[in-house]
Amino acid sequence: MRPDRTIALAVLGTILWLVPGWSQLAFTNVTTSANVGSVAEGVGATLFDYDGDGDLDLYLSNGFGDANVLYSNDGDGTFTSVVGSGTEDTGPGRACVAGDYDNDGDNDIYLVNYNAANILYRNDGDSTFTVMVGANVGDAGAGVGAAWGDFDMDGDLDLYVVNYNSANILYSNDGDATFTVLVGAGVGDDGPGHGVAPADFDGDGDLDLYVVNENEANILYSNDGDSTFSNLTFVAGVGDPGSGRSAAWGDCDNDGDLDLYAVNQNTGNVLYRNDGDSTFTNLVGAGVGDTGPCYGGVWADFDKDGDLDIYITKNNQANVLYSNDGDNTFTSVPGAGAGDTGPGRGVTAGDYDGDGDVDLYVVNSNQANVLYRNDSDTNRWFVVDTRGTLSNRSGIGALVSLTAGGVTRIRQVEGGSGYCSQNSMAVEFGLGSATTATTLRIEWPSGVVDVHSSLPANRWVTAIEGGILVGVEDGEGNGDLEPHSAGLFLSRGRPNPFTESTIFIYSLPGHGTDEGLSSRGSQMIHSADPQYGDGGVRLRLFDVQGRLVRTLVDRTGLPGFHAVRWDGRDDRGNRVGPGVYLAVLSSSLGTETQKVVALH
C-alpha cells in the first residue's frame, strides 16, 4: 500500500474514533467462554427468564432436524444447556417467543414450525415444559413468525402467527389453557409473510400489528378495540413492498411515539418516523437503508446516551451497528466489534449479565452463533422488568416511559419482533450522565397507570402493577420489599385516598417468594400451583367500628404477588360512605393491615 494512503487511512481512523458514538460503542465476543456457540441451522432466539432466578436465559429455534436448545444462565457469564427440558423439538423451527400465557408466574414458549405443527410449551416451574396438545394453537401451515400480545385487553396473552402464502392466524386466549381462532378479526392476510411486530403505534391503549411480507406490501393493522382490526397501510404510508424479512418498533427521536424500522433482503431497509397522526414519513436520509441481504433488526440504546440505536444481521456480510446521532440520522460503527460476517438470521437483545447495558445474541445458519457482551462506556442506565397483576403477568404491551435529564424516553414491553425472535421483556434505558430518573411512568394494558419519582440511576427494578417497585427505593418511600412475616405482604391502596376505586397488592410466601434477593437486588417474584400454598387467605375491608364491609379475597393462597381492585362498594353492592376503612389480609401466617380513605 502506498505510504500516503496508509497515512490517510490512519488519520481517517483517528477522526472517526473522535466522532460521537464511535468511541462509546464496544462489544466483546464471549461466545466460547459463555458456552452458547450453537452450530445448527439457526433461525431465531429469545432472551427471557424461564426459571425465575432474575437473569436472562436463552432459547434457540433451529430448522430441519437440528434440536432446539434451552440455555440456563448460570449468573457468572456462562450458560448451561438444559437437557431434558422437553423443548428440544427437531422440526423445521422458525420463530420462538416467550410469555406467561397462563398467568401462573413463569414464562412459557411458543415455537413456530414451517409446514409442521407449531408447539406451545407450558413451563412447569421445575426446568421442564409440557407440550399443550389441546390448546388449539398447533397450526401446521408454512409458519414463519409469531408474537404474543393481549390484543383484546382481557388480562391474558393472545397469539398472532404469520404464515408464508397461507392465512395468518390470531388466537384469542380463552383463559383455560385453550385458544380460539378469531376468524373475523380482519388480520388473516395470506401473503408471503415473514414476520410480525405488535405495538401501540397510535397511543390509544391497545396493541396494533405490523405484518412483514416478501415482495408484497407490508400491512399495518390498527386495533379497533373490539377484537377486529382495520387495515391502515395506505393511509399510514408504511406498505413497503420490498423483500421483507422483519420489522421492529422504537422511539428513535424521543418524541413519545413509536417509529418503525422495516428490514429487507437486498431491496433497502426503511425507517418510518411516526408523525403522531397515524401517518409516517420515510426518513430516506437517515443512513440506515442498507441494501444488502438483511434479516434481523433490533432497537436498543447500546451506548446508553439516551436514544435508540439499530443493529441488523446480514447473510454472509458483516452485520451493522448504527449509532443514533440524535437528529434523525445514524452513523454506522464498524469498529464496535459486533460485525460478525456469518450467515446471519435472527438476533435478540438484552442485558444477560446484569450490568446495565444491552448485549446481543446473533443466530447464524449452519455456523456458530455469537454472543456479544456490551462493554461500552460508563453512561448511566435504568432497567425495568414488569410484572402484571390485573394485566398479563409478563407485562407484555405495557408502555414504559422514563424521564431523566429533561428528556422522556419510551419503551414498550414486547412479545416478539425482528426475524423469528424476541428481545428481553425487561426494558432498558440509557440515561447519559443523568444521576436520577425524575419520573418513571408505566401504562399497563389493563389501563392502570403507575408513576414513581426520584429514582437513582444504575438500578434494575421489578415494577409490579399497582404501584410497587422491587429493588430500589423511590421518592415516595416505596422501597425494596423486605420479607414481612415469612413473606406475607399487603400494600396500601393505590390510589389512597380514592374516589372510584383502589388497588391492593398482596403477596404470599411459597415457591420463589421468600428466597432472598437476586443478584440485582430484587426479591424473586413467582406464582405456582396451589399445592405450594399456605392454605386459605382472606382480604377483607372493615370500617373503623370493626364491622365487615366487603370480602375481596377468600380462597386458597397462591404464592407470589396478586392484585385486587376495590370498587368502593360493600358486599351488597352499595357504595360505601366517605371515611377511613381497614384492609386486613389474614392467613395462617399472620395478619397485615392497611388504612384506606374513601372520598366519595
User: Both 154 and 195 in a single domain?
Assistant: yes
Regarding whether 400 and 345 lie in a shared domain, the answer is no
What pLDDT score does 105 carry? 85
The predicted-structure confidence for 390-422, as pLDDT tens digits, reads as follows 899 999 999 999 999 999 999 999 999 999 999
In a domain, 242, yes or no: yes
pLDDT digits (tens, 9 = 90+) for 232-241: 999 999 999 9
What confidence tens digit (pLDDT) does each residue in 272-284 have?
999 999 999 999 9
pLDDT digits (tens, 9 = 90+) for 456-466: 999 999 898 88
Residues 364 and 460 in one domain: no
Residue 4 has pLDDT above 80, yes or no: no
Assess if residue 514 is contained within a domain. no
Query: Are 352 and 495 contained in the same domain?
Result: no
| Same domain flag for 221 and 317 | yes
- State which H helix or E strand residue 14 sits in: helix 3-18
- Cα angle 221, 224, 229; round to 5: 35
Assess whether 362 and 373 both reside in one domain.
yes
pLDDT number for residue 476: 41
Answer whether residue 5 is part of any domain. no
Q: Which pLDDT score is estimated for 557? A: 62
Domain assignment present for residue 143? The answer is: yes
Task: Retrieve residue 581's grid coordinates.
Answer: 376503612
Amino acid code (one letter) for 39: V
Q: Which amino acid is at 511?
A: H
What pLDDT does 6 receive? 37
Rounded CA gap, 149 and 161, in Å?
11
Cis amide linkage into residue 92, ω under 30° from 0: no
Q: How many residues does the chain have?
A: 600
Tell me the pLDDT tens digit for each residue of 551-581.
999 887 666 678 888 999 999 999 999 999 9
Under 8 Å between Cβ of 461 and 522: yes
Residue 375 · residue 477 · CB < 8 Å: no
**Are 308 and 350 found together in one domain?**
yes
| 319 & 437 share domain | no
- The answer to whether the beta carbons of residues 170 and 150 sit under 8 Å apart is no
Query: Which residues constitute the domain of residue 375?
Result: 27-381
DSSP string, 246-286: EEEEE-TT-SSS-EEEEEEBSS--EEEEE-SSS-EEE-GGG
Residue 386 within a domain: yes
The CA-based angle 150-156-158, given to 5 degrees, is 50
Indicate if 82 and 95 belong to the same structural domain. yes
The pLDDT, as a whole number, for residue 512 is 36
Residue-by-residue DSSP string for 100-121: -TT-SSS-EEEEEEBSS--EEE
pLDDT band at 524 (very low <50, low <70, confident <90, very high): very low
Phi/psi class of residue 535: alpha, beta or left (left: φ > 0; alpha: ψ in -120 to 50)? left
What's the mean pLDDT in 55-64? 95
Give the chain's domain count: 3
Would 2 be classed as within a structural domain? no
Which residues does residue 398 pair with via DSSP β-bridges, in sequence order? none
Task: Work out the pLDDT band at 160, boundaries 50, 70, 90.
Answer: very high
CATH of the domain at 539: 2.60.40.4070
The tens digit of pLDDT for each residue in 480-495 reads: 433 333 467 888 888 8
- The percent of residues in the chain predicted with pLDDT above 70, rounded, is 88
Q: Is residue 271 part of a domain?
A: yes
Tell me: the pLDDT tens digits for 250-305?
999 999 999 999 999 999 999 999 999 999 999 999 999 999 999 999 999 999 99
CATH number of the domain to which 308 belongs: 2.130.10.130
387 plus 438 within the same structural domain: yes
> Tens of pLDDT along 365-377?
999 999 999 999 7
pLDDT category at 425 given cuts 50, 70, 90 is: very high
519 within domain boundaries: no
Q: How many angstroms separate the CA atoms of 556 and 583, rounded?
A: 18
**Do 260 and 289 reside in the same domain of the chain?**
yes
| 578-595 pLDDT per residue, tens | 999 999 999 888 899 999
Asked if 361 and 333 sit in the same domain, the reply is: yes
What does the H/E/C string look like for 336-361? HCCCCCCEEEEEEEECCCCCCCCEEE
pLDDT at position 587, please?
A: 86
